[in-house]
Amino acid sequence: MSVDAILFKGKQPLRRQGDPLTDPSGQPGDRRLQQHVRAELAAWRGLPGGGGRAGQTVRTRLQRTIDASKPLNGALAEARVARRLLRTGCDIAHELPTPNGRTCDFEVQMGDQRFYLHVKCPRILHVPHPPLPSFLRVIEQIPRPYLVEVAWRSDLDDAQLTDLAMAIRGFVREATIGEEYLHRDHNGRVAGNARIAATVEGEKAVVSVLSYRTKAIERVGRVLERAYNQFMPGGENVILVLTEDGMHDRLVDLALLGTHVERWDRMPRGNRSVAHGRAEDGFWSGAHYERSRAVCWMQLETESPATRLWYRNPEAPGEAVRALIESALGIHGFG
């Protein structure tokens, strides 16, 4: 089965001071996170009837989590999603048991249409690298005025790092802004990647270490698999991934649709990088996880989060269910 994904991209809000749930080092700020949780609890008081029975369950879980000093991200994500669903006029049920002994986070219904929503909030931390290593200096000698973001696996040996640098150098010589290159080792695993992020002043390339590691893509993939194992049979199931950074939709895109496949072709004007779609390593690749037909990403931010929605193919889910998904999650007019 080939993936024919339809994409909806929400507006990216300006990051306001105090919005991120991480401190400047990228580590979770417990005090700041607790403040967001308390603000969320206060926001629920403004809903008619406190959100009903399902709302009471969500709020109780959130309060118990903060009282017990347990990890807060998951409970905060569910509370914000539940409030969003209720404010768009949906009826919701929380933590429905599935036949395989697991639970579905939400049943969402409006009129005679419904879907099941699975909320996942993976922790994707920024892991700072030491100063730019010497093996990447070769890229800084390329006479192209681009900012090149680079990431690599921490277990690569010297020879593998050299191979990676040479491959990225060739990519940078021919790439344009926005292009991305993923380099694989002899086992087919992603060894590293590079992206042309922007132009810079000067005549030569400037190298910057990416703010996330390649392992984050694999982490998101595992989250999608766990959500799939919680699917409710006989209904439309939607996976919603929430992360703190407004750029993490790229991670979900790669984990869902597969990493980019590129190779070198001899062209009339010399060597250039040619993209050939996606590798077969995505959650939706081939016939993998075929019951999954809709995935959404949302920034874990208070009132106006950045959002992105993927459909696996143009025909399913049907128009009525799509309208409910987009209305319930607050995604309108993007495509």
Tens-place pLDDT, residues 273-290: 444 457 788 899 988 999
Bigger pLDDT: 112 vs 10: 112
pLDDT of residue 303: 66
DSSP code per residue over 10-41: ---PPPPTT--SB-TTSSB-HHHHHHHHHHHH
pLDDT-derived band at 175, boundaries 50, 70, 90: confident
pLDDT-derived band at 78, boundaries 50, 70, 90: confident
The answer on pLDDT for 225 being more than 80 is yes
CA pair distance 142, 145, nearest whole angstrom: 8
Q: Within 13 Å and on the Cβ side, how many CA atoms surround 182?
A: 19
Q: Which has the minimum average pLDDT: 109-123, 176-190, 315-329? A: 176-190
Strands 294-299 and 180-184: unpaired
Instruction: Give pairs for 313-319: CB < 8 Å, separation 24+.
Output: 313/3, 313/4, 313/5, 313/6, 314/4, 314/6, 317/115, 317/236, 317/293
CA pair distance 327, 90, nearest whole angstrom: 9
Rounded-to-10 torsion of CA 169, 175, 220, 71: 80
Q: Could you tell me the two tokens for 223?
A: 């989250």
Q: Which residues, other chains included, contact 14 with Cβ-Cβ below 8 Å and sequence gap of 6+?
A: none
Q: Name the DSSP class of 68.
A: T
% of residues, the chain, pLDDT over 70 = 74
Beta bridge partners of 260: 278
pLDDT of residue 256: 93
CA pair distance 222, 252, nearest whole angstrom: 11
Beta bridge partners of 59: none
The answer on pLDDT for 247 being more than 60 is yes
Bigger pLDDT: 178 vs 225: 225
Among the listed residues 121, 94, 135, the one whose alpha carbon sits nearest the alpha carbon of residue 33? 121
Instruction: Locate all alpha helices (DSSP H) within the chain, ordered by sequence.
Output: 30-44, 52-67, 73-87, 158-174, 215-228, 249-257, 319-328
CA pair distance 24, 218, nearest whole angstrom: 24
pLDDT-derived band at 114, boundaries 50, 70, 90: very high
Amino acid at 22: T
Give the orientation angle of helix 249-257 with respect to helix 215-228, to 10 degrees: 70
The answer on pLDDT for 130 being more than 80 is no
Three-state SS for 141? helix
